[in-house]
Chain A
Amino acid sequence: AQSVSQHNHHVILSEAASLELGCNYSYGGTVNLFWYVQYPGQHLQLLLKYFSGDPLVKGIKGFEAEFIKSKFSFNLRKPSVQWSDTAEYFCAVITGGSYIPTFGRGTSLIVHP
């Protein structure tokens, strides 16, 4: 069965710092990749997704992620974080033939003003 690893469980940054959150998955076939964000007290919502094409995907609020097939990775990046980016970030993978996502355990990001 596929698994999704988010190695950074808690990240604390100051405003304007750069962000990179790791996501690795264990599946050798076709994948569809997602990053979801959960702001405090709110529901999970989609940040960005990769299905095919350009492996560098741009999402909302200045986030981007790069799919590196050889590394089984889909890391999330933002060049300059803001206090309002404080949230839980979840990576999710849907593997070929399925439509049910497998989620990572999430990364809690705290941005200090």
Chain B
Amino acid sequence: DTAVSQTPKYLVTQMGNDKSIKCEQNLGHDTMYWYKQDSKKFLKIMFSYNNKELIINETVPNRFSPKSPDKAHLNLHINSLELGDSAVYFCASSQAAGLADTQYFGPGTRLTVL
């Protein structure tokens, strides 16, 4: 059983388009995250949600809007895509906010903006 899943795995789109990436975790965790991994492999936190509420928003352009319909899902919607948005986006979850704990990662979504 996949613990953290993301769809799609690959996403190729034109500049200016709007796209969404979906994430689901079946671990019963309270906290979910979105990370961006750039071409130099740096992993940077974008957002953190705890029990459907936004906890962390790390200087991400407001073209990026996370949505958490329930604590098992955290989707990422991106408006007006730009070339610089090309990256691998990882969803992750952990047991609970406020606790330093292991992150469980999804397989990543490779976004290419042409």
| Chain A positions near chain B (C-beta within 8 angstroms) | 32, 34, 36, 42-46, 49, 51, 88, 90, 92, 94, 98-101, 103, 105-106, 108
Contacts and interface: CB of A to CB of B under 8 A. Distances in A.
Contacts of A51: 100
B105 A94 contact: no
A99 B92 CA distance: 13
Contacts, number: 49
A58 B41 CA distance: 26
A44 B90 contact: yes
Q: Dominant SS at the A interface? A: strand
A43 B105 contact: yes
Interface residues of B, number: 25
Contacts of B105: 36, 43-45
Contacts of A36: 103, 105
B86 interface: no
B90 A99 contact: no
Interface in B58-114: 90, 92, 94, 97-103, 105-108
A32 B100 contact: yes
A51 B41 CA distance: 25
A99 B102 contact: no
A10 to B, nearest CB: 11
A113 B31 CA distance: 40
Contacts of A88: 41
Given A100-B48, A100-B56, A105 B40 contact: yes
B93 to A, nearest CB: 12
B99 A43 contact: no
B100 A99 contact: yes
A103 B40 CA distance: 12
